[in-house]
Amino acid sequence: MVDLSFNNYVREMKANTGTPDDFSTYRHQKQQDAPSGDYVYRPDQDALRTLQRLKPLNLTISALVRFWKESWRGELLGHAVKVTPRQFSNLYQIGMECAEELHLVLPPMYVIQNPYLNAMTLGLEDDSIIIIHSATVDHLSREELKSVIGHECGHIANGHVLYHTVAQFLASGAAMLIAWLAQPLRMMLLDWIRKSEITADRAGLICAQDETIATRTLVKLALGSQNLYEQVNVDEYLKQLDELRGTIGKFAELTQTHPFLPKRVKALQLFAKSKYYQQRVLGMESTGGMSMTKLDEHVAKIIAI
């Protein structure tokens, strides 16, 4: 009989990578130099710890590792182009700058042909890859790409990768293998994933170090059009947030992997005004700015459904 327990999965990981006896300690050691404890959206990490304690979810992770990992990796290698110092060197340099800013080892990056503006990170916490859609490279400037790749590096720095991959697995046809627990897990995962995107957006801004560039990137991702962006008034765009709150359509967000974009833009603007961002990232001497605790309280209200 195949042992699908999470403990067996951890034992296999230790055998293959030489990790310490405690898997959570291993991940902490891998990321101990990263400033995740400073800029992270706290409800993200609280929800993540809850997920990590759920045995059914851990069984799902084990199933994922066995039934899906090699499949999507093989498909990726067959259709994507790897980013290296000799191939797409500009993207590679952007990735290196973001990894250095967030104190990470840059994982493998691939560009895949896709007309939609997007990027994603999949894999395990110590074995992840960043996938960038070709349209993203075509539509965004170097500075904007730094925000996007920084966002993905933020997922890695804050322990998001494994559970984001599980969510992708549950959304695929392969989830039929574990259909008896897919739906309740899906709703819990979606709630956490939306929170994790706030943390990753902050990482993107830390890498871009320009509020205008970071918010512009988010709006471009929403529009999918470089030309139309020039006609967008961000303040006018954010008014949609007030309109959304008064409609039943707001509940559609429950099935989404990301908070609605006006919420993300507003939350990112608040982070740019925080004491952490102004002092730790920009090096400003001013003692003004919102504390991270107050910031997270405001953001929780913004992204609430």
Per-residue pLDDT of the chain (305 residues; tens, 9 = 90+): 444 343 444 444 444 433 333 333 333 444 444 444 589 999 999 999 988 887 766 766 766 656 666 677 777 878 899 999 999 999 999 999 999 999 999 999 999 999 999 999 988 777 889 999 999 999 999 999 999 999 999 999 999 998 888 777 766 655 555 555 556 777 888 899 999 999 999 999 999 999 999 999 999 988 887 778 888 888 888 888 777 776 776 678 888 888 999 999 999 999 999 999 999 888 888 667 899 999 999 999 999 98
Structural domain includes residue 80: yes
Structural domain includes residue 211: yes
Structural domain includes residue 125: yes
- Which residues lie below 8 Å from residue 290, measured CB to CB, with a gap of 6+? 270, 273, 274, 275, 298
Full domain range(s) for residue 166: 6-303
Structural domain includes residue 210: yes
Structural domain includes residue 27: yes
In angstroms, the CA 48 to CA 33 distance is: 20
Specify the number of domains making up the chain.
1
Structural domain includes residue 1: no
Structural domain includes residue 200: yes
Q: How many CB atoms lie within 10 A of CB 1?
A: 3
Structural domain includes residue 49: yes
Q: How many CB atoms lie within 10 A of CB 98?
A: 29
The reported pTM is 0.83
